[in-house]
Chains A and B, each alone.
Chain A
Amino acid sequence: MDLSAISPTLLIAALMVAATPIILAAIGELIVEKAGVLNLGVEGMMITGAICGFAIAVESGSPLLGFIAAAVGGAVLSLLFGVLTQYFLSNQVATGLGLTLFGLGLSALMGQGYIGIRPPTTSKVDIPVLSEIPVLGPILFNQDLVVYFALLLVVATWAVLKFSRAGLILRAVGENHDAAHALGYKVVRVRLMAIMFGGACAGLGGAYLSLARVPQWTEGMTAGAGWIALAIVVFGAWRPFRVLLGAYLFGGVTVLQLNLQAAGANIPVEYLSMSPYLITIAVLVIMSSGKAKAALNAPACLGRQFHASS
Chain B
Amino acid sequence: MIALEKRPEPSRAWSFATPMLAVLLTMIAGGLMFAALGKNPVEAIRTIFWDPLFGEFAFYYRGQLLIKAGPLILIAIGLSIGFRAGIWNIGAEGQYIVGAICGAAVGLAFYPLESFIVFPLMVVFGALGGFLWAMIPGILRVKFNTNEILVSLLLVYVAEFLLASMALGTLRNPDGAGFPGSRNFRSYPAGFNEEIIAGTGMHWGVVAAFIAVIFTYVLFARHQMGFQIKLAGQAPRAARFGGVNPARLVLFCLGLSGALAGLAGLFEVSGPAGQISIDFNVGYGFTAIIVAFLGRLHPVGILLAGLLLALTYIGGEAAQSALGLPAAAIQAFQGMLLFFLLAVDVLTNYRVRLGKREAV
A contacts, CB < 8 Å to B:
40, 80, 84, 88-91, 93-95, 97-99, 101-106, 108-109, 112, 219, 223-224, 227-228, 230-231, 234, 268, 270-271, 273-274, 277-278, 280-281, 284-285, 288-290, 293, 295, 307, 309-310
Nearest B-chain residue to A43, judged by Cβ: B153
- Tell me how many residue pairs across A and B have CB atoms closer than 8 Å: 138
Q: Could you tell me if B350 and A109 are in contact, using CB atoms closer than 8 angstroms? A: no
User: Could you tell me the distance between the alpha carbons of A69 and B57 in the complex, rounded to whole angstroms?
Assistant: 44
- Confirm or deny: B154 has a beta carbon within 8 angstroms of a beta carbon on chain A: yes
Nearest first, the 5 closest Cβ-Cβ pairs linking A and B are A102-B335, A105-B331, A108-B328, A105-B332, A289-B144
Which residues of chain A come closer than 8 Å to B150, judged between CB atoms? 227, 230-231, 234, 281, 284
User: Could you tell me the distance between the alpha carbons of A288 and B143 in the complex, rounded to whole angstroms?
Assistant: 10
Which residues of chain B come closer than 8 Å to A112, judged between CB atoms? 326, 328
Set A90, A285, A293: member contacting B343, Cβ < 8 A: A90
- Confirm or deny: B35 has a beta carbon within 8 angstroms of a beta carbon on chain A: no
Q: Could you tell me if A101 and B334 are in contact, using CB atoms closer than 8 angstroms? A: yes
- Confirm or deny: B259 has a beta carbon within 8 angstroms of a beta carbon on chain A: no
Which residues of chain B come closer than 8 Å to A98, judged between CB atoms? 290, 335, 338-339, 342
Q: Could you tell me if A101 and B165 are in contact, using CB atoms closer than 8 angstroms? A: no
Of B37, B156, B293, B331, most A-chain CB atoms within 10 Å = B331
Q: Could you tell me if B335 and A289 are in contact, using CB atoms closer than 8 angstroms? A: no
Given contacts A88-B342, A98-B342, A285-B140, contact A227 B88 (CB under 8 A): no
Given contacts A98-B342, A288-B146, contact A268 B165 (CB under 8 A): yes
* Chain B residues touching A, range: 35 or more
Q: Could you tell me if B165 and A270 are in contact, using CB atoms closer than 8 angstroms? A: yes
Which residues of chain B come closer than 8 Å to A270, judged between CB atoms? 161-162, 164-165, 168
Which residues of chain B come closer than 8 Å to A93, judged between CB atoms? 88, 149
Set A108, A268, A281, A307: member contacting B331, Cβ < 8 A: A108
Set B4, B145, B147, B333: member contacting A89, Cβ < 8 A: B4
Whole-angstrom distance from the CB of A178 to the nearest CB of chain B? 15
User: Could you show 7 A-B contacts with beta carbons less than 8 Å apart?
Assistant: A40-B149, A101-B286, A101-B335, A109-B331, A224-B154, A285-B146, A288-B144
B contacts, CB < 8 Å to A:
4-6, 37, 88, 90, 140, 143-147, 149-151, 153-158, 161-162, 164-165, 168-169, 286, 289-290, 293, 326-336, 338-339, 342-343, 345-346, 349-350, 360
Which residues of chain A come closer than 8 Å to B4, judged between CB atoms? 89, 307
User: Could you tell me the distance between the alpha carbons of A95 and B345 in the complex, rounded to whole angstroms?
Assistant: 12
Given contacts A90-B342, A109-B332, A112-B328, contact A309 B6 (CB under 8 A): yes
Given contacts A89-B346, A90-B343, A309-B6, contact A109 B335 (CB under 8 A): no
Q: Could you tell me if A90 and B345 are in contact, using CB atoms closer than 8 angstroms? A: yes
Q: Could you tell me if A95 and B158 are in contact, using CB atoms closer than 8 angstroms? A: no
Q: Could you tell me if B339 and A234 are in contact, using CB atoms closer than 8 angstroms? A: no
Which residues of chain B come closer than 8 Å to A307, judged between CB atoms? 4, 6
Q: Could you tell me if A101 and B331 are in contact, using CB atoms closer than 8 angstroms? A: yes
Which residues of chain B come closer than 8 Å to A295, judged between CB atoms? 145
User: Could you tell me the distance between the alpha carbons of A277 and B155 in the complex, rounded to whole angstroms?
Assistant: 7
Which residues of chain A come closer than 8 Å to B336, judged between CB atoms? 102
Given contacts A89-B4, A106-B335, A227-B153, contact A84 B342 (CB under 8 A): yes
Set B5, B90, B168, B343: member contacting A97, Cβ < 8 A: B90
Q: Could you tell me if A89 and B350 are in contact, using CB atoms closer than 8 angstroms? A: yes
Nearest A-chain residue to B156, judged by Cβ: A224
User: Could you tell me the distance between the alpha carbons of A206 and B346 in the complex, rounded to whole angstroms?
Assistant: 32
User: Could you tell me the distance between the alpha carbons of A273 and B163 in the complex, rounded to whole angstroms?
Assistant: 12
User: Could you tell me the distance between the alpha carbons of A284 and B168 in the complex, rounded to whole angstroms?
Assistant: 31
